[in-house]
Structure 1
């Protein structure tokens, strides 16, 4: 049964063709297929650390019956209620036992900047689109971050999504990063249900997030990877497209690569499971490294250019 979720049902005639085009032919009759079992990921523990600087898996999640931070009618009270819920969840957390909670409003500027520089914290919204929607009107009153002592697992509260769940660590061991994400998200969902909350989800669209491009898994699995030769090669955009990957600068969307270092991540969200998307990144990154090594030696890479996945 397809659960109703405005606006995708109310404006179905408008959104269905948009989503089909945006998500590679995903049809109105298709059903999303989740898979958050990290044991199903093949390999991923041997991405060369002299190329892969860090590995990350992240996704946003929306709380059912709570207004999106983007919409103009989202009140200060709703921001505060989500913040309080997150604090209660953290207190009930049992895996692992110690979790610092950092309220943005109580941090010093230096503490905020250090977390931003380490890619652990979101910055103040500056986009005209986000500002026009009112997302920053209560800043920094309700956004929070909580994380494990090692900072391999983090939860952002009241950023662009109600919650953003992140697992990240230095190096190329996606086989370690992904289980933290899966297990942490599972415990969050269990705690939510114990307090009569749930994430927005339906069988057709998967997780419902703020942006239609993130429907389904909402998942971005990615690496910061050094590709100084391949990054300048004329075939690089074509290779990424065929591997169903995308690139951006390490500072996030609309930023340039510095020193030949890119963030490379999955291009798809809907129509593929979480495991499938992480697998795409693992397999694709291995090929990108092989191509970079060829170019370092001055060799051609034409025979390594893949067919379209």
Structure 2
């Protein structure tokens, strides 16, 4: 109804980055009534790795394929089609909907991975070392410049579709398994799970104050890939009592495991990270079937993974890609180590980004120009 007389009405237009973006109509099978040329997306103004690799010929060969769970080529590329990117910022432009995505659509994804991860070849094998004793340095970062340190990784539970493609039932089962597994942690890792939909205002405000809380995605990159469907159903945050070790459930990946603390002792942060992730659950060198090939299991494997394995589940992994995650940029270790730094002068320098690139680092997140978050770039 119209407002009462003499009422001042204000109209607000949401900025582009917060406007809801509908999930792509990628499952419309009528598209197969049209030629590949008629269905090929317009990528003429795009700057992402997917657009750099995809050609009409590749699209023609792959467009009729789908993974066993029904993830299609158009599902893979839709986020990159809807988000052309920035002229100076190369985004990935594609996602995986399940573990098989990287095999079924490898003609597209292998070159994307090679381009994004600095020449990582389809024949390369990934190595992960989670022995904190092998870390050199990291305990003496200057506290005058380093405000906080953190290490994070992602993990995907084998047998479930990834967040862009999972059903409500799958997502809820991932939450249930995660809650049960994390509830088994003891000692310094003992903690509590908070479901987003059940949080009290006080709990939510406390998590915001602690910089723990992830909110409903507003990034078009995530919205276009379908990761915000049914929000906040089956999403949540777990953290230990000391608030230095936390796990996000069903955000961009099934699990995001994070170790963080104030100051510049990255070695201590990494040690806690490895403590939460590492525990011997297979004898060193014992063979285990891992999808397409036999892999030799390292002596230190995930403590959290062992809890899932006790319940009949393991994490997605293969010897080429390492740990399999939603975004190709996070493959391999899935590990991203970073510091929140105070660089009031250098961050303004015209060649700041160039310096970071030479060091294989990148600036991420927020905190203002003078307080950038600096982290590693390539994970494979």
TM range (shorter): 0.7 to 0.9
Question: For residues 143 and 170 of structure 1, do their structure 2 counterparts lie closer, same or farther at Cα, with a shift above 3 Å needed?
Answer: same
Aligned to 1:228: 344
Distance 2:245 2:231 in 1: 24
Q: Secondary structure at the match of 2:103?
A: coil
Q: Secondary structure at the match of 1:31?
A: coil
Aligned to 1:306: none
Q: CA deviation at 1:54?
A: 0.3
State the Cα deviation string for residues 4-43 of structure 1 (Å, max 9, x = none): 9522222222222222111111111110011001111111
- Contact 1:209-1:218 within 8 A present in 2 as well: yes
Q: Secondary structure at the match of 1:102?
A: strand
Q: Give the stretch that moved more between structures: 199-208 or 78-87.
A: 78-87
Q: Give the stretch that moved more between structures: 241-250 or 216-225.
A: 241-250
Q: CA RMSD in A?
A: 1.8
Q: Secondary structure at the match of 1:239?
A: helix
For the pair shown, the structure with the greater C-alpha radius of gyration is 2
Question: For residues 137 and 20 of structure 1, do their structure 2 counterparts lie closer, same or farther at Cα, with a shift above 3 Å needed?
Answer: closer
Instruction: Determine whether 1:204 maps to 2:320.
Output: yes
Q: Secondary structure at the match of 2:104?
A: coil
Question: For residues 261 and 129 of structure 1, do their structure 2 counterparts lie closer, same or farther at Cα, with a shift above 3 Å needed?
Answer: closer
Q: CA deviation at 1:145?
A: 1.1
Match of 1:81 among 173, 176, 185: 173
State the Cα deviation string for residues 110-137 of structure 1 (Å, max 9, x = none): 5324423432121111223433443223
Aligned to 2:378: 268
State the Cα deviation string for residues 234-284 of structure 1 (Å, max 9, x = none): 23122111111101343xxxxxx52600000001111xxxxxxxxxxxxxx
Instruction: Determine whether 1:43 maps to 2:137.
Output: yes
Aligned to 2:208: 116
The equivalences for 1:100-249 within 5 A come to: 100-185=192-277, 186-249=302-365
Question: For residues 249 and 94 of structure 1, do their structure 2 counterparts lie closer, same or farther at Cα, with a shift above 3 Å needed?
Answer: closer
Extract structure 1 runs of 4+ deviating beyond 4 A: none
State the Cα deviation string for residues 178-204 of structure 1 (Å, max 9, x = none): 011112122101111111111111000
- Contact 2:188-2:242 within 8 A present in 1 as well: no
- Contact 1:249-1:258 within 8 A present in 2 as well: no
Distance 1:5 1:126 in 2: 25
Distance 2:102 2:169 in 1: 26
Q: CA deviation at 1:97?
A: 6.1
- Contact 2:339-2:375 within 8 A present in 1 as well: yes
Distance 1:97 1:246 in 2: 30
Question: For residues 23 and 259 of structure 1, do their structure 2 counterparts lie closer, same or farther at Cα, with a shift above 3 Å needed?
Answer: closer
Distance 2:105 2:183 in 1: 40
Distance 2:229 2:235 in 1: 12
Distance 1:148 1:129 in 2: 30
Structure 2's unaligned 5+ residue stretches are: 1-97, 278-301
Aligned residue pair count: 259
Instruction: Determine whether 1:22 maps to 2:116.
Output: yes
Distance 2:101 2:199 in 1: 37
Distance 1:29 1:202 in 2: 12
- Contact 1:116-1:123 within 8 A present in 2 as well: no
Q: Identify the structure with bigger relative contact order (alpha carbons < 8 Å, sequence gap 6+).
A: 1
Question: For residues 182 and 15 of structure 1, do their structure 2 counterparts lie closer, same or farther at Cα, with a shift above 3 Å needed?
Answer: same
Distance 1:237 1:134 in 2: 31
The equivalences for 1:271-282 within 5 A come to: none
Q: CA deviation at 1:61?
A: 0.9
Q: Secondary structure at the match of 1:222?
A: strand
